[in-house]
A and B are shown apart, each in its own frame.
Chain A
């Protein structure tokens, strides 16, 4: 769903704006649903390596956050999302997707099971009207917390040590656990980088105090504030999808058939046909065995990032395109996420990406062989170890 922001208003400051502005040497602000968000604060390389080798702070407050409470919340959520939320225990976080009546993905997000019949949904797209529609007939109240809950993403191998130094004990927190430290601060062991990391949720007006506390804790741990560019590299390495890039949120599409089913996005594991009815279930039952395309991970020949390239099969027929592609400094591979049409997606041994190159005013193309990769490009064991290592 596109968000209209008043151009006269300009980009508005988020809860950590002062802190980010102090460090924003690159002055590379971009528009994240109306907020001024840093693309890069210093340089992508410094920030990326801080994320993978030390610790990084990234402001994710512009994410949309909705609080759902009331006796029917679990039932309402189970009709909304494709997985069985009854399996997300108290104090746990679950990744979920939700579909329209045709089984096309509307958005993905994380569900925080805060208390009995008390949940928070955190997602990229504006979702209030859809949630209100979904809650009709259920005893559920929905509060848009987007502009009242601030959130910092602390990611990287020393992030546990940073929290410890800041006086926050999260040693017992397993991946996808959450803990309420005090009424104003909740910490979840979640993130969008595939690395060890935490997300810290606080009151909007207590955001700066939180920043200062974490920043102080990070003094000896190489903590760095980072922008979106570095986060994007990390999430591609982890194989995570970005709405609007790797899939088209169906409510934001205007052309026919641009939506995608969970099966086409490789998210089969998130669809539970046995839990009872959920939105799009009947459509998905008929579509589960006939995906029109598949979202694939590729090892790309050479070193040129392949983003935006078209994919050809052996017979020189165009069969897809790369949605995200970078040179991965950690995996030391040229990696990409891509949509490939069926049936070429399942006989993908001879696919090639046509990468466009611009070198000092001269455009060229390079045909790069694509090798399918089954798992994430980078999934370090440190991300899952509990208690986590300090360095």
Chain B
């Protein structure tokens, strides 16, 4: 008799979601986390500084309802955040739901074109969301079985949704979905900061530039839940605390500071795990929130087919986004930014070309000298003020490695880049925290420090995610499942990968 019905390895967002969902469906679940706090990459922070993720835009309402969290919970009811594109001439551009405006309040001439394009992409995102909320299509189920019928209906719904767009819209959808964001955005908008903002939103976290194929898909993905950005009240750790609370309420056994050393097998079926401190926990189902390569290391390669291992080790995951946290001397306003914009999402991406040029050095293992930056001003629990920034591109495999000198250089670049649009910012910064992709990998195990554990590119999506032959969350021996960001539909503090994996595990072991 096993101790648990299921063991989840890795207490990040997807692991917590998977465990909670299984627990709520009557399974006896244990969630094991290596570090002393749950939440994984989302809430990872250094010395109490801002966490890696600092805003929410893709958290799935379906996941929330499946794990028993009220979508109106105070933590999730933070003020919607608008986006501000910073400009060196001080005429910043504010992107709101109702259009785009100059910082002084007048309407931007590209407002209508931007709204049309964004709305179009949001519509596409809504269609594709149906695919995200289920395992990828193409399972070998008989069409007349319940699962097969559901899958058929889901695809039919997508087809019907496409048809409903009308002939020219449908044609447009098929034309843009696989295309690059450079071409599509510049079809409708002139080159400049408005186009640059869309280009930036298409490349966060990925090793692509606006001209890379598939970047429109990334943009649609980002807008998959409507494109609204919020900051959880109390920060990202408040959200992960909420998930932990939901897991506890559902009856999950949480084991922080416990590291799995090996996944145990018995006659080609999972039988439990052994921890580094020598404990054996038994269960017929193990869900791994780790990247496939790390999971395979815990079983040894011999339990997988040779082709599977070849695919696993060829999954592309090269993190290019560094977190640079700028400690501000006090809570005063940022220089050059009007009062009402101080708490919005600030973006430095003056043009599509700028974003593409920033990508170029990363191809050759260099950091961008003129990076793309997303910044959010926030206060940490200790009352300190920070500018939490994502700086791209800072490749994980930087030539010469991420030495202290390299990190200092990246911080200097980030500050001086922002200083162009926020003159005087330099004097407000008292300290910097740099979290490079290799550091993210060390702390969370995410290969290359990549946000999604595996690049979100067309060859690694849907039935090819994380790799051909393992898209249905199961992997190798009976009872072994993957539930991490490397699986369909990916990461982004969305929770759907964990949810889908848990449902797949339920289906396999009712």
> Which residues of A does B touch, CB under 8 Å?
75-76, 78-80, 100-101, 130, 133-134, 136-138, 276-277, 279-282
Chain B residues 283 to 316 lying within 8 A of chain A, measured CB to CB, are 296, 300-310, 313
Known: A136-B301, A277-B268, A282-B268. A101 touches B309 (CB 8 A): no
**Prevailing SS type, chain B contact patch:** helix
A101 touches B301 (CB 8 A): no
With contacts A100-B307, A133-B306 known, what are 7 further pairs, Cβ within 8 A?
A101-B305, A130-B306, A133-B309, A276-B268, A277-B304, A280-B305, A281-B268
Looking at A133, A276, A277, A281, the one whose CB has the most chain B CB atoms below 10 A away is: A277
Q: Which among A79, A136, A276 is the interface contact of B310 at CB below 8 angstroms?
A: A136
B248 to nearest A CB, angstroms? 37
Within the assembled complex, what's the spacing in Å between the Cα atoms of A138 and B303?
Answer: 12
Within the assembled complex, what's the spacing in Å between the Cα atoms of A136 and B310?
Answer: 8
Q: Does B469 contact A (CB under 8 A)?
A: yes
B462 to nearest A CB, angstroms? 20
Within the assembled complex, what's the spacing in Å between the Cα atoms of A376 and B310?
Answer: 39
Which A residues are in CB contact (< 8 Å) with B308? 101
Question: In the complex, which residue of chain A has the Cβ closest to the Cβ of B299?
Answer: A277
Residue pairs across A and B with Cβ atoms less than 8 A apart, 11 shown, are A79-B301, A100-B307, A101-B305, A101-B308, A101-B469, A133-B306, A133-B310, A134-B306, A276-B302, A277-B304, A282-B305
A138 touches B310 (CB 8 A): no
Which B residues are in CB contact (< 8 Å) with A136? 301, 309-310, 313
B313 touches A101 (CB 8 A): no
How large, as a class, is the contact surface on chain B? Answer: 10 to 19
Looking at B268, B302, B307, the one whose CB has the most chain A CB atoms below 10 A away is: B302
> Which residues of B does A touch, CB under 8 Å?
268, 296, 300-310, 313, 469, 476-477
Known: A277-B268, A281-B268. A137 touches B305 (CB 8 A): no
Which B residues are in CB contact (< 8 Å) with A80? 306
Within the assembled complex, what's the spacing in Å between the Cα atoms of A276 and B305?
Answer: 12
Which are the 9 A-B pairs with shortest beta-carbon distances? A137-B301, A101-B305, A101-B307, A79-B302, A134-B306, A277-B303, A279-B306, A133-B310, A279-B305
Within the assembled complex, what's the spacing in Å between the Cα atoms of A282 and B309?
Answer: 15
A43 to nearest B CB, angstroms? 45
Question: In the complex, which residue of chain A has the Cβ closest to the Cβ of B300?
Answer: A137
Within the assembled complex, what's the spacing in Å between the Cα atoms of A130 and B310?
Answer: 10
A75 touches B302 (CB 8 A): yes
Which B residues are in CB contact (< 8 Å) with A281? 268
Looking at B268, B302, B304, B306, the one whose CB has the most chain A CB atoms below 10 A away is: B306
Question: In the complex, which residue of chain B has the Cβ closest to the Cβ of A103?
Answer: B305
Which A residues are in CB contact (< 8 Å) with B303? 277
Within the assembled complex, what's the spacing in Å between the Cα atoms of A121 and B48?
Answer: 58
A232 to nearest B CB, angstroms? 31
Which A residues are in CB contact (< 8 Å) with B268? 276-277, 281-282
Within the assembled complex, what's the spacing in Å between the Cα atoms of A134 and B306?
Answer: 5
Within the assembled complex, what's the spacing in Å between the Cα atoms of A130 and B308?
Answer: 13
Within the assembled complex, what's the spacing in Å between the Cα atoms of A114 and B64?
Answer: 61
Within the assembled complex, what's the spacing in Å between the Cα atoms of A130 and B305?
Answer: 12
B302 touches A277 (CB 8 A): yes
B307 touches A137 (CB 8 A): no
Question: In the complex, which residue of chain A has the Cβ closest to the Cβ of B310?
Answer: A133
Which B residues are in CB contact (< 8 Å) with A277? 268, 302-304, 476-477
Within the assembled complex, what's the spacing in Å between the Cα atoms of A79 and B301?
Answer: 9
B301 touches A138 (CB 8 A): yes
Which B residues are in CB contact (< 8 Å) with A79? 301-302, 306
Within the assembled complex, what's the spacing in Å between the Cα atoms of A78 and B301?
Answer: 12
Within the assembled complex, what's the spacing in Å between the Cα atoms of A56 and B313?
Answer: 48
